[in-house]
Amino acid sequence: MRITLVGTGYVGLVAAVCFAKLGHEVIAVDREPVIRGLKENKLTVWEPRLEPELADVYVKGLLRFETDLARASSDTDALMIAVGTPTRSDGHTNLGHVHEVLSHLMQAGTCPPLVIIKSTVPVGTCDELEATLLAAGLRTEVAFNPEFLRQGSAFKDFMEPDRIVFGCKTPQAESLLRQLYEGIVAPVHVCDRRSAELIKYASNAFLAMKISFANMMSDVCEGYGADIRHVMSGVGADQRIGPEFLSAGVGYGGSCFSKDLQSLLTTGKLIGSSLPILEAVAKVNDQRIPRMIAKLISLWGNPLGKRLCVLGISFKPNTNDVRDAPFLTLLAQCERHGIEVQAFDPVVRQVGATAAQVMDSPYASAAQADAVMIMTEWPQFAELDWPYLLHLMRRPYVLDGRNLLPSQIISQIVEVDGAMYMPVGRSMEC
Ligand code: NAD
């Protein structure tokens, strides 16, 4: 198939490379600076396997880059849209980027027979987009094909998904979608477009709910001297529940969970339904960073002028994405309490216009710090020379916001004079 894919961010670029690997001829479209960066091999997206996989399909001529949407979509079988759909300040989803793509198609007066929405969009959006195109004289079907990949394991998730969802109206659209995914072995779930749009939101809401549930239970564990790791591994062993997304910590972040939860809450309000479970999920998550700050204050007394070493900036390991990262919330709250932040991340080298100092090494970020907090579960943080790191600090206090460190490292930590190790949802060790 010949396919044009608009939007080369975390989802679009991986999808473009994977469709090319499946043997399709892919044209990826984005704005001029993004495409220039891609052509010069300066990627803004950091994802394991991305560079070599991209280079491979690019040199084979299976993937090319374009800025002119009309040219790129003039002779293709399908157009896939994977642009961002952030939340507006009023809680509604901002479909501005999606509408901009449609405007270009309508201006050009041409459109492939199938437009596939890959971006996460509220229920009813595909119906509206199709009606807009039709009103402009473009007879095309709009289908919905949500993406479930996780940043950090995007290639594996894309090529070996748990399921593929097609929300479409006609057998012709379903047949084109099946052709596009030929080569990927996974159960295919075909349904109407509105149900498919809700599958994506309900999935993310459910995953966020699992995380908030584990975090809520971690507070109970802390209060009663139990261990959240035992509790959740016992709970997750039940096949009806499953072990994933049950780790307690500093809360979920990233570009999807908060925004999709917010969007679903707004969708509910439009029909007079408050979706109280989702409100509680967001509320529990919002309490995580204040709880970490309270732990710091319990150790320090007065936080003013203290220095915090933060390990991990990205919202999860194996990505450079800082959108909605818990780190940003932590940073804002540290500023409010007069706490200075020195941070380190294996791939994030700067964090916009923030007051955080991003250091070149974990040891540099620990210099003269009054505590260290693990914010992201990068596995390499468990391999640091912890006694040495603590030796560089003013106070040897460790807050493990991800329960990352194994017991042999914790034993080394607590041997250091005056040291304290504070995990989440289990007893502190000192
Ligand atoms: P992103 O911000 O990383 O990428 C979006 C890209 O679209 C950018 O490169 C931007 O320049 C480009 N773009 C915007 N408007 C454009 C236009 N008019 N013409 C050409 N290019 C344009 O976003 P993302 O994280 O890849 O997410 C994309 C969509 O996929 C969102 O709806 C998101 O909710 C959904 N999603 C994301 C993930 C994830 O893990 N990031 C997972 C599943 C679904």
**How many A from CA of 324 to the centre of ligand 1?**
15
34 lines ligand 1 (CB under 6 A): yes
Closest residue to atom 9 of ligand 1, CA basis: 9
Residues 6+ apart with CB under 8 A from 184: 22, 159, 160, 161, 164
Point out the ligand 1 atom lying closest to the alpha carbon of residue 119. Answer: 32
Q: What does CATH list as the number for 2-191?
A: 3.40.50.720
pLDDT on residue 123 = 98
Q: pLDDT, tens digit, for every residue of 251-309? A: 999 999 999 999 999 999 999 999 999 999 999 999 999 999 999 999 999 999 999 99
31 lines ligand 1 (CB under 6 A): yes
Is-contact 257 223, C-beta < 8 A? no
Q: Which residue spans within 304-370 are E strands per DSSP?
A: 307-311, 340-344, 357-358
Candidates 3.40.50.300, 1.10.10.10, 3.40.30.10, 1.10.1040.10; correct CATH number of 200-285? 1.10.1040.10
**How many A from CA of 247 to the centre of ligand 1?**
27
Residue for token pair 């477009």: 193
Closest residue to atom 25 of ligand 1, CA basis: 10
pLDDT on residue 351 = 87
Under-70 pLDDT residues of the chain? none
Question: What string of DSSP letters covers 159-227?
Answer: HS-S-EEEE-SSHHHHHHHHHHTTT--S-EEEE-HHHHHHHHHHHHHHHHHHHHHHHHHHHHHHHHT--
pLDDT on residue 20 = 98
pLDDT on residue 401 = 98
Strands 164-167 and 307-311: unpaired
Superfamily of domain covering 287-422: NAD(P)-binding Rossmann-like Domain (3.40.50.720)
Domains 2-191 and 287-422 share a fold: yes
82 lines ligand 1 (CB under 6 A): yes
pLDDT on residue 428 = 85
**How many A from CA of 83 to the centre of ligand 1?**
4
Q: Which residues are known to be catalytic?
A: 256
Closest residue to atom 1 of ligand 1, CA basis: 9
pLDDT on residue 429 = 82
Residue for token pair 């009023």: 90
**How many A from CA of 64 to the centre of ligand 1?**
18
Domain ranges in the chain? 2-191, 200-285, 287-422
Is-contact 408 379, C-beta < 8 A? no
Closest residue to atom 12 of ligand 1, CA basis: 7
